[in-house]
Each structure stands twice: as structure tokens, then as C-alpha cells.
């Protein structure tokens, strides 16, 4: 689908303290009755239109160029999911949200333990460019130091994305 501002973007970043869901998300609600988790919104402004940001980041084969938290190779499966390999979480199955007009770029990553990590991400217009926003949730049992490390890893990946896109012609 084409958004009001062009095509949308899918970004994959896998910090270790993001939302963990059931290994069978079809049987569990996305949200639970637990208390709200501490959250940090990590963002970067990119001097490229949202459709350009989307076109680049939606292609899993571009992920090893800027998102080191998931893997170094990605293979598409027959069911529409992707297999990511070579990253710190090991082999993982990735399912992307369908293209939409709202700039929603969420994806779920199922790791080897069967846990599913939900990654909420948005690309929103910001002047003539874009703002890419990743929402990081601090899970119970995750130390403040680990949460800060996760946020720093996300920031680094987003800065790499910015550098890549802003250095391309056009």
C-alpha cells in the first residue's frame, strides 16, 4: 500500500529487553493485564522522505547493512516469514506487519526458545524528511544497565541507517 506520504518502512532491531509474548501468539492477547513496563522511545531524524526510508528498510536483504542486532543473512520462507541467522540471538523467525498507510513497521521475532519479541516501530514524516521511532520496553528482571545497553544498541543501528540513507544520492 502507498501511504499519504509514500511507501512505508520496516525496520528490524532486536534488543534483548523488548516485549516478550507467548510462543504461540495466536492464543495469547498482545497486551496483558500486567502493570505498564518502563519504556524508552529511541528515534532518529533522517533527511530523506518517508517513502525512501521505507523502500530501503523494508527489504530484509538490506538489514545486515545497518541492523546488526538480528542477523547477517535473511531467507524468505513460503509462509511469508523470514529466517534470520548470524546474529546475537541465533536463528530467528521474523514476521512483518503488512504494509499500511499509518507508518507502522512492527515485526515479531521468534527466537530459539520459542519466545516472540514484539518490536513496535514507526516512520513518520518530519518536515521534508522522516523520524524513525523504536519503542523499547524494559522487561521484568532486566537491569537498568542492560536496558541502557539495549537502548544504545538501537541508537547505534538507527544512526547507521541515517548515515546510509543520507549518503545515498537523491
Q: Would you list the domain boundaries of the chain?
A: 19-26+36-167
Whether the pLDDT of residue 78 is over 70: the answer is yes
Whether the pLDDT of residue 143 is over 90: the answer is yes
Rounded CA Rg of the chain = 15
What pLDDT is attached to residue 32? 60
Domain at 19-26+36-167: CATH code:
3.30.530.20
Q: Which residue has the higher pLDDT, 24 or 161?
A: 161
Q: Which residue has the higher pLDDT, 66 or 29?
A: 66
- Please give the model's pTM, rounded to 2 decimal places: 0.76
* Mean pLDDT score of the chain: 80
What pLDDT is attached to residue 25? 42
What pLDDT is attached to residue 17? 43
What pLDDT is attached to residue 27? 39
Alpha carbons within 13 angstroms on the beta-carbon side of residue 58 total 19
- The x, y and z cell numbers of residue 164, run together, are 546510509
The pLDDT of 95-107, averaged and rounded, is 83
Contact present, 116 and 139 (Cβ < 8 Å) = no
Amino acid at each position: 500500500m502507498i501511504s499519504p506520504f509514500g511507501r512505508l518502512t520496516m525496520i528490524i532491531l532486536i534488543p534483548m529487553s523488548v516485549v516478550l509474548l507467548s510462543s504461540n501468539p495466536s492464543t495469547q492477547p498482545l497486551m496483558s493485564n500486567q502493570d505498564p513496563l518502563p519504556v524508552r522511545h529511541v528515534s532518529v531524524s533522517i533527511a530523506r522522505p518517508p517513502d525512501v526510508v521505507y523502500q530501503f528498510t523494508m527489504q530484509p536483504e538490506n538489514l545486515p547493512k545497518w541492523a546488526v542486532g538480528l542477523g547477517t543473512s535473511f531467507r524468505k520462507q513460503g509462509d511469508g516469514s523470514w529466517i534470520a541467522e548470524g546474529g546475537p540471538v541465533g536463528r530467528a523467525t521474523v514476521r512483518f506487519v503488512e504494509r499500511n498507510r499509518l507508518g507502522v513497521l512492527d515485526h515479531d521475532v521468534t527466537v530459539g526458545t520459542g519466545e516472540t519479541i514484539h518490536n513496535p516501530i514507526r516512520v513518520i514524516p518530519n518536515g521534508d524528511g522522516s523520524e524513525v521511532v523504536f519503542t523499547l520496553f524494559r522487561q521484568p528482571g532486566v537491569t537498568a544497565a542492560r536496558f541502557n545497553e539495549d537502548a544504545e544498541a538501537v541508537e547505534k543501528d538507527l544512526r547507521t541507517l541515517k548515515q546510509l540513507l543520507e549518503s545515498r544520492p537523491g
